[in-house]
Chain A
């Protein structure tokens, strides 16, 4: 989850990134490489594929603020932070079915629209953020659906 300051422009005229919130990457052990992915309680997610709706509500999730994506990918210095957000998916723009034998996954996806309202805080610096209302967020791409991969793809389970 990235924040940019439109008051600080780079030479190309783009807002400069000042915060990058993510939970980090596992770098060793059998789960090595697990990228910015973290367990969340089951009740944080509600999905109804028949009605093409879903909600993801996460509260006070502990993450790190790496400030820039480059620093995040290189595991540079970071500050402990927390984020809370509510994302809602709805509508049907397209229905897509995928079966990819090269990557080994299959899925049925509903492309749709989503909204988000979120907040973040970085206690060590005193920084806090609160997004504008969900209705003001813009969808670049969104989808919900079902997917199976790995042994559940190759095994046909």
Chain B
């Protein structure tokens, strides 16, 4: 895949446009950036908090970052985690709402691709667990 960084004005494109135009590359290097520690040990009353591993496949985004993710569509691997067996849900939606800042309200458009994965997975500790994860 080519690095198209600079060709796409990200501020002007949607997640669907930005993540949905690159082709699937199969297994690749994990170059993803990070800040938080998603799925890190969240004290939960149900479900394991042991981290799962990402799916090995994905694609290189226009900014040159490989992500372990497949854009929504028929027949795609919807799960974000590997060594997983369970139920999934995927919703790619759009709509409108109201944003408010400093007392001023504005109509805004939204787009989202949210998913859940619930079931059995092999965690980074090599053991089987049951848990629920959200892709946000």
Contacts and interface: CB of A to CB of B under 8 A. Distances in A.
Nearest to B134: A40
A114 B92 CA distance: 8
Contact of B136 (A28, A36, A68): A36
Contacts of A14: 12-14
A133 B106 CA distance: 16
Interface of B: 8-16, 18-19, 24, 26, 30, 32-40, 42, 44-47, 49, 51-58, 61-63, 65-69, 72-75, 77-102, 106-112, 114, 116-118, 120, 122, 124, 130-136
B101 A74 contact: no
9 A-B pairs with least C-beta separation: A70-B10, A75-B33, A27-B34, A33-B30, A10-B12, A150-B83, A24-B36, A131-B97, A42-B46
Interface residues of A, number: 104
Given A4-B109, A47-B87, A75-B33, 12 more contacts: A24-B37, A26-B51, A27-B32, A33-B68, A34-B81, A39-B44, A41-B44, A42-B118, A61-B134, A116-B93, A131-B110, A138-B95
A116 B95 contact: yes
B78 A16 contact: no
Interface of A: 1-7, 10-12, 14-45, 47, 49, 54, 56, 58, 61-64, 68-71, 73-75, 78, 83, 85, 87, 89, 94, 96, 98, 100, 102-105, 107, 109, 111, 114-116, 118, 125-132, 136-152, 157
17 contacts: A24-B37, A29-B51, A34-B80, A35-B68, A36-B80, A37-B80, A38-B136, A39-B39, A39-B133, A61-B136, A71-B10, A83-B136, A89-B89, A96-B75, A132-B96, A136-B96, A147-B86
B33 A140 contact: no
Contacts, number: 356
| Most interface-central of B46, B83, B86, B97 (chain A CB within 10 A) | B97
Contacts of B122: 150-151
